Structure 1
């Protein structure tokens, strides 16, 4: 069970408090979103702008609200949990990074953390931009990577493509997930982690189908479901 932006139903999303609470609840994993500010720091925030509308890429770290953590701070708060690091890099947004400079900076941070504890499999890098995921794998093949998507039009073809490209997982939106989709990816050795599910009945169905991971705003509820 993966805490979506931390335990975001009970604490402000993508904050140290949300990550620590997810850890205290017993979540297996955390998903968080990474952007970069004008002074170069990698920061954890979902939207390209903060609440007052100012754009993160146009602000220095000192100009950002104190509750927005750096990636280093967030990873430290996650402790021993597995972390899905989503690089925000969408072409319609003001911080779109066609050269994946931000992605390379994320990899540098993850390398430091892996050097400290020795387990590259504690992390996974994901993104909606396929070229970003491919670049990350090309730069660091040992780091698990996943492509985020809403629709999967041909599960078997995409599963083969992701396997051949060296990616560990696909992350489809929860309403599009079927047992047949999961089976198609598993046949190619590709894991399926879905987002975002807070409905216990749907969680039970996904678990029965063999889903690998469920991203949820309510990790405490999800863990109760998993325990039966």
Structure 2
């Protein structure tokens, strides 16, 4: 899965979450893209990671406090416009998208875009916030694939009993602080429940091989070039 379109591929440096990066990943042969979502003050959903424009664009300000008429003037790395979620869905109708909702005000506008564009079956929606995961599930129902929220991941990781969750997958780091999140037991329990396990953000080929050997179902990477090489080497690039 191309994280922010493959943010650390040499061709994409400075252009994370841009159409340039997404198109580059698709051109390499990626069928799964990861991006982040924020909503402007007037409810327009954009593919963007930070809550502020400052780090990667030529403008400043908190996205949730700015209308789209202002946000759309910003340029990623001084050149690329910030894409709308609707534009990404329209540009790549055959590509699966993993959407990470970054703020509470983005949940309902995201649900509306996915309903309007009939794109519920094209996406998997995740969030660091368990409340956001619960809310998007309520809005879009059983058709929507979601990741597990943090509470669901913790229960499956630390409590060895069956977890009743509609989530389709766990999208987790190997380690979070001093806590090892991915363990053989967690992977085994997830698979017993029919859930996939995706690990982020893996940019080292040795780690890619090790995790694939362990049986994880997906890798989320900034180095789309390196993961592609690893999968070709393993005969898993299709």
Instruction: Say whether the fold is shared (TM-score over 0.5).
Output: yes
TM-score normalised by structure 2 residue count: 0.80
State the distance in 2 between where 1:158 and 1:54 align: 44
Conserved 8 A contact 2:43-2:109: no
- Runs of 4+ in structure 1 off by over 4 angstroms are 148-154
Structure-2 change in CA distance of 1:35 and 1:113 (3 Å): same
State the distance in 1 between where 2:232 and 2:53 align: 37
Structure-2 change in CA distance of 1:77 and 1:219 (3 Å): farther
2:25 to 22, 25, 30: 22
Paired residue secondary structure (2:207): helix
State the distance in 1 between where 2:20 and 2:28 align: 12
Match of 1:172 in 2: 172
State the distance in 1 between where 2:206 and 2:64 align: 40
Unaligned 5+ runs, structure 1? 90-96
* Aligned-residue offset at 1:114: 2.8
State the distance in 2 between where 1:82 and 1:179 align: 28
State the distance in 2 between where 1:135 and 1:31 align: 20
Q: RMSD between aligned alpha carbons?
A: 2.2
* Aligned-residue offset at 1:13: 0.5
Conserved 8 A contact 2:198-2:218: yes
Conserved 8 A contact 1:174-1:197: no
1:157 to 156, 159, 162: 159
Unaligned 5+ runs, structure 2? 76-80, 176-180, 234-238
Equivalent pairs, count: 211
The reply to whether residue 38 of structure 1 matches residue 45 of structure 2 is: no
Conserved 8 A contact 1:42-1:70: yes
2:62 to 45, 49, 55: 55
